[in-house]
Amino acid sequence: SAVISQKPSRDICQRGTSLTIQCQVDSQVTMMFWYRQQPGQSLTLIATANQGSEATYESGFVIDKFPISRPNLTFSTLTVSNMSPEDSSIYLCSVADRGGTDTQYFGPGTRLTVL
């Protein structure tokens, strides 16, 4: 499976600021996803990052709040904009190759705390 890294691994931010999280994969992948996981809860899909076009957002998530870039097949960024304490969470990127079993493999996550 692909090796996935995320930066930063954790951060503490002030209300009203923005944070950009990077996801890097060591090989080209078809699909890249961004999830949020609140403490003790399961995964919530934020959006699918599409290479060369706008991301596909899930219900409840909007581009202005969570802009996403995917300039190529190995890299994506998620920005959490105008943060509030409710955005404190773990943010995870995952990758999958369409055409196989679509198994998703996850990066190590970014633990975000907003004060």
Partner 1 sequence: GQNIDQPTEMTATEGAIVQINCTYQTSGFNGLFWYQQHAGEAPTFLSYNVLDGLEEKGRFSSFLSRSKGYSYLLLKELQMKDSASYLCAVLDSNYQLIWGAGTKLIIKP
Report the site for partner 1 in 36-75 (rule: CB under 8 A). 41-45
DSSP 32-96: EEEEEE-TTS-EEEEEEEPTTS--EEPTT--TTTS-EEEEETTEEEEEE-S--GGG-EEEEEEEE
Nearer to partner 1, 14 or 39 (CB): 39
Decide: is 104 part of the binding site for partner 1 (CB under 8 A): yes
Among 20, 84, 103, 113, binds partner 1 (CB under 8 A): 103
Applying CB under 8 A, which part among 12-20, 66-74, 77-85, 102-110 lies near partner 1? 102-110
